[in-house]
Amino acid sequence: MDSDYTLEQTPATRRRNKVREAILAAAERMFAKEGESGLSIRRLAEEIDYSPSAIYKYFGSKEELLEELKDSFFERLLEQVDRVSATSMNFHDRARACVTTYVSTATARPHHYAAAFSSIPTREELAARRQLSWDDFLATPKGQAFKILVDLVEEGQGLGVFDPALEPVKTAKSIWASSHGLALLMIHMPLLPDVQPCPTQTDGDFVAYHADIVMRGLAVPADLPHKNGTRS
Amino acid sequence: MDSDYTLEQTPATRRRNKVREAILAAAERMFAKEGESGLSIRRLAEEIDYSPSAIYKYFGSKEELLEELKDSFFERLLEQVDRVSATSMNFHDRARACVTTYVSTATARPHHYAAAFSSIPTREELAARRQLSWDDFLATPKGQAFKILVDLVEEGQGLGVFDPALEPVKTAKSIWASSHGLALLMIHMPLLPDVQPCPTQTDGDFVAYHADIVMRGLAVPADLPHKNGTRS
DNA sequence: TATTTTAGTGAACACTGTTCACTTTTCGAA
DNA sequence: TTCGAAAAGTGAACAGTGTTCACTAAAATA
């Protein structure tokens, strides 16, 4: 019933969507280049030859517009990781690829990724959102990305390559933190890797290096027997 | 020679420093509570009963003032970690404590820590700063914090508890990324740990959990001999 | 065709950081 | 102590921001 309406849109709504997309496209362009501070409603309006107040017929506020940019970016990011996680690679490579894909996609649009994690909730907001359930979280793009990690940990434990003593949810959060941190470190301190004495190294190399260390942290400890294996 | 001058300051400069400190104190208070957006020069001036233009006799710009807030925070952060790294704890506990201290200090002042990593350099800035040498970086607070990690890795390798195949500098960056990521994740998504089905867990517990996984990632691999051991 | 809804505008409001001519205060040397 | 210079502090203004609202023009509907 809804798709009927959206398929045969009236020219009015089609025009409207076109303008809306034009706004988003221009906003995307400006934001990707100059970030949140470089995206001004007035400059944006000038860019698409509209008056500033016209923007408010399509978006309730600048924050709302930004929210849409960030959300659609994070959905693309989730898509990338999801695609990799469904690959037929062997487990180790697949797990590492999830991390490297996440970091690469994040650093490819630094302003987007940083902005997606830029809000610091106040105590009141925190108290209000405390009602959000686990299931509500899993419905969000960030929740889905998180779920991929939880599944990955559980799969690794099932295969006997990850320590069975690890709690999947906590461990997924640990992996996320490590990936998140590398992405933001590369975004905010991009010349940190180049500053070291080995100039031949590229960014991608280090991401793989980091992903490898992260995965090694989840392995079955040396003083524990492997699954079905015996200790020397 | 310098301390002589600072000890017998003329009343003029002492007064000046007092005003300067008052500005910083008010700015610190406002920034800690409401972040960068909540700190306005005009409100700040009103807070200390001065005119907005008076601020500019003490700080060249708002950004310069903010820079001072961030820098002094990061120096405090560095102090904390430095103190812990010089403890007489055994190596494992000390290494973990470095990470947990870093994360706890960071999350204790969320706006400060986030702001300390908020700038995204443009391509031009990046080309300009590329001249900065490794030694220049080590002179900065961030560089010193980084150095602590490099030393820690090398110490662990010397003790035979960290994989000798690891490159200390790259590995230090990996540890930093993991710690950085957890700090920012806790700052920007503070209810992520509580949302999971085990409500008894506190933030501090998870930081330790994460620090443990990070350290495990640096251990000598299971299929490698320990120090002075032989390979099968 | 008449009416109502929608698209779009321009002027205004309340902010912001910043500058600058200007006054007042303070300090050091004659 | 007095005088001139330097420093401290101010108010008004500039350019910019997000946002609102009464208003017009155009399109959709009856």
* Mean pLDDT, residues B203-210 taken together: 90
- Among A208-212, B70-74, B189-193, the least confident range: B189-193
- Do B106 and B98 contact (CB within 8 A), yes or no? no
What pLDDT score was predicted for residue A7? Answer: 47
> Cβ separation of B210 and A174 shorter than 8 Å?
yes
> Cβ separation of B130 and A213 shorter than 8 Å?
no
What pLDDT score was predicted for residue A229? Answer: 40
* Mean pLDDT, residues A153-181 taken together: 97
Q: Give per-residue pLDDT as tens, B84-114.
A: 999 999 999 999 999 999 999 999 999 999 9
B contacts of A209 (beta carbons < 8 Å): 170, 174
Nearest-angstrom CA–CA distance, A13 and A6: 9
Reported confidence tier of residue B175, pLDDT bands at 50, 70, 90 = very high
Nearest-angstrom CA–CA distance, A164 and A220: 8
Q: Give per-residue pLDDT as tens, B46-76.
A: 999 999 999 999 999 999 999 999 999 999 9
Q: Give per-residue pLDDT as tens, B145-167.
A: 999 999 999 999 999 999 999 99
Residue A35, amino acid: G
Average pLDDT, whole number, for chain A? 90
What pLDDT score was predicted for residue B19? Answer: 96
> Cβ separation of B174 and A190 shorter than 8 Å?
no
Extract the tokens encoding B106: 């960071």
User: Considering only alpha carbons, which residue of chain A is nearest residue B161?
Assistant: A222
User: Considering only alpha carbons, which residue of chain A is nearest residue B131?
Assistant: A195
What pLDDT score was predicted for residue A84? Answer: 98
A contacts of B213 (beta carbons < 8 Å): 166, 171, 174, 217-218
Reported confidence tier of residue B132, pLDDT bands at 50, 70, 90 = confident
* Mean pLDDT, residues A42-61 taken together: 98
For residue B216, the tally of other CB atoms under 10 A from its CB is: 17
> Cβ separation of B195 and A133 shorter than 8 Å?
yes
According to DSSP H, which parts of A39-140 are helical?
41-47, 52-55, 62-85, 91-108, 110-116, 123-129, 134-139
CA angle (B116 as vertex; B115, B119 as ends), nearest 5: 75
Question: CA of A58, closest CA in chain B: separation in Å?
Answer: 25
Of A134, A178, A218, the CB nearest to B197: A134
* Mean pLDDT, residues A79-101 taken together: 98
Is residue B226 predicted with pLDDT exceeding 60?
A: no
What pLDDT score was predicted for residue B140? Answer: 95
Reported confidence tier of residue B229, pLDDT bands at 50, 70, 90 = very low
- Rounded to a whole number of angstroms, the CA Rg of chain B reads 22
What pLDDT score was predicted for residue B131? Answer: 82
Question: CA of A189, closest CA in chain B: separation in Å?
Answer: 8
Q: Tokens 């508890």 sit at which residue?
A: B161
What pLDDT score was predicted for residue A232? Answer: 35
- Do A48 and A23 contact (CB within 8 A), yes or no? yes
Nearest-angstrom CA–CA distance, A54 and A52: 5
Distance A229 CA to C21 C1' (A): 85
User: Considering only alpha carbons, which residue of chain B is nearest residue A194?
Assistant: B130
What pLDDT score was predicted for residue B70? Answer: 98
Is residue A77 predicted with pLDDT exceeding 60?
A: yes
Is residue B3 predicted with pLDDT exceeding 90?
A: no
* Mean pLDDT, residues A111-121 taken together: 97
φ, ψ at B59 (rounded to 5°): -135, 135
What pLDDT score was predicted for residue B223? Answer: 66
Reported confidence tier of residue B13, pLDDT bands at 50, 70, 90 = confident
> Cβ separation of A129 and B191 shorter than 8 Å?
yes
* Mean pLDDT, residues B183-187 taken together: 98
The four Cα atoms B1, B6, B8, B11 give a dihedral, to 10 degrees, of 150
Chain C positions within 7 A of any protein Cβ atom are 6-12, 15-21, 26-28
Asked whether strand C has any atom less than 7 Å from the CB of A22, the reply is no
What pLDDT score was predicted for residue B227? Answer: 44
3-class DSSP state of A125 = helix
Is residue A64 predicted with pLDDT exceeding 70?
A: yes
* Mean pLDDT, residues A186-196 taken together: 85
Reported confidence tier of residue A124, pLDDT bands at 50, 70, 90 = confident
Asked whether strand C has any atom less than 7 Å from the CB of B11, the reply is yes
Report CA-CA distances (Å) from A63 to A42, A112, B41, B142, B220.
Answer: 14, 14, 23, 32, 48
Q: Tokens 């950004």 sit at which residue?
A: B63
What pLDDT score was predicted for residue A225? Answer: 52
What pLDDT score was predicted for residue B231? Answer: 38
> Cβ separation of B179 and A174 shorter than 8 Å?
no
Average pLDDT, whole number, for chain B? 90
Nearest-angstrom CA–CA distance, A153 and A175: 9
Nearest-angstrom CA–CA distance, A74 and A116: 7
Best probe of the A interface among B130, B184, B209, by most A CBs < 10 A, is B184
Measured between its terminal Cα atoms, the distance across chain A in Å is 66
DSSP string, B63-106: HHHHHHHHHHHHHHHHHHHHHHHTS-S-HHHHHHHHHHHHHHHH
Extract the tokens encoding B99: 């990470």
Closest CA to B97 of B171, B163, B137, B148: B148
Nearest-angstrom CA–CA distance, A221 and A216: 9
Q: Give per-residue pLDDT as tens, A157-167.
A: 999 999 999 99
A3 against A63, higher pLDDT = A63
For residue B187, the tally of other CB atoms under 10 A from its CB is: 21
Extract the tokens encoding B153: 């890795």
